[in-house]
Amino acid sequence: MYSAITANKRKTWILIFIACAVIVVFSAVFGVAYDLDIGSSIVIGTMIASVYSLISYYLSARIALSTSGAKQIQKADNPELWNLVENLCITDGVPMPTVHIIEDPSPNAFATGRDPEHSAIVFTTGLLAILEKSELQGVAAHELSHVKNYDIRVMTLVVVLVGALTLLANIFLHTRFRGSRKGGDAMIVLMLVGVLLSVLSPLIAQLIKLAVSRSHEYLADASGALLTRYPEGLASALEKISQANIPMQQANQATAHLFIMNPFAGKASKLFSTHPPVEERIKRLRSMGG
C-alpha cells in the first residue's frame, strides 16, 4: 500500500514534467516560426509552463468538479450520506472530504483533489437512488481509498493534461503564421506538427488514462473492501451500476477515468475503456469474501 502511494506521488511529478516540456517545445517552435530568438522563446515557454503547473496542481480538482456539474452539499442537505462518509473517514484515519452530488440518473461516483487534506467525493442522484446502505458504504470506501492512496492527484492532473494536449492541437491546426519572415517552410513544418499532434493527442491521452486508471481501480476496490470489512457491499454496488447501464448526461472523455464506473456505460469500447472489466472486479472482490 505504501509503495503504491509513493508511486502515485512520483507519477504526479512525471506528468507535470511532461506537460511543462511539451509547452516549452511548442514555445520554441512558435518562436522559430515568428523569427524570434530561440532563447527568449524558451524562457517564455518556461514561464507559461510554470504557471500551467501551478494551475494544474491547485485548480485541477475544481475544474473536474465544474465540468461534471457537481454541487457541494452540507450535512443538513443529506445527513445520512454525510454521516456515512464521516464514519468511514474516522475509521480510515483520513480527513473529511467535501461532499458533492451530481443531478444525474446514471449511478456513478468519483473522488478528486490534490491530497487527502484537499479532497472531494462525489455521488450521482442515480447512485443514491438504487444502492442499499452497505453498497453505498462500499462505493464511498472505494473513493476514499483513492484519496488515501493519492490516486486522486494523479488522475485529476490527467484531466488537465488531456485538455492541454487537445488545446495545443487546435492552436497548431488553426493558427496562420503570415507574419513569419522564414516563409512557407516554417509554416509547413508547423502545420505538419499540428496535424500529427491532433491525430496522436487523443491516443496519447487515452494511453495515459489507461496507465493510471486500471491498476488504481483494482487497488481501490481492495482497499475499500478492507475498510468496510464487507467486500460483497462493493461487489453488489458494481453489479447494480453495471446492470443499470445508463450513460451520464455530462460525461466527457477528459474526466471519464475519475469515475468508479465508465460514465459512457454501454457506449464504451472494452479495449480502450479507462476501467478494468467489471466482471473481473466483482470476481476479485467476491474472492476476498470467500
Q: How far apart are CA 45 and CA 87, in angstroms?
A: 46
Q: What CA–CA distances, in Å, run from 280 to 106, 236, 238, 275?
A: 21, 13, 11, 11
Whether 217 is a known active-site residue: answer no
Give me the numbers of helices (H) and strands (E) for the chain, helices first please: 9, 4
CA-based nearest residue to 127, from 106, 110, 143 = 106
Q: Strand, helix or coil at 176? A: coil
- The single-letter DSSP state of residue 121 is E
Query: What number of other Cβ atoms are within 10 A of residue 1's Cβ?
Result: 12
Contact residues for 203 (Cβ-Cβ < 8 A; gap 6+): none
Residue 148 CB burial class (10 angstroms; 0-12, 13-18, ≥19):
buried
The catalytic residue among 143, 217, 232, 239 is 143
b/e burial code for range 115-126 (CB count within 10 A of at least 16 → b): ebebbbbbbbeb
Three cell numbers, residue 3: 509503495
Residue 112: helix, strand or coil by DSSP?
Answer: strand
Based on C-alpha coordinates, what's the Rg of the chain? 21
> Among all residues, which ones are annotated catalytic?
143
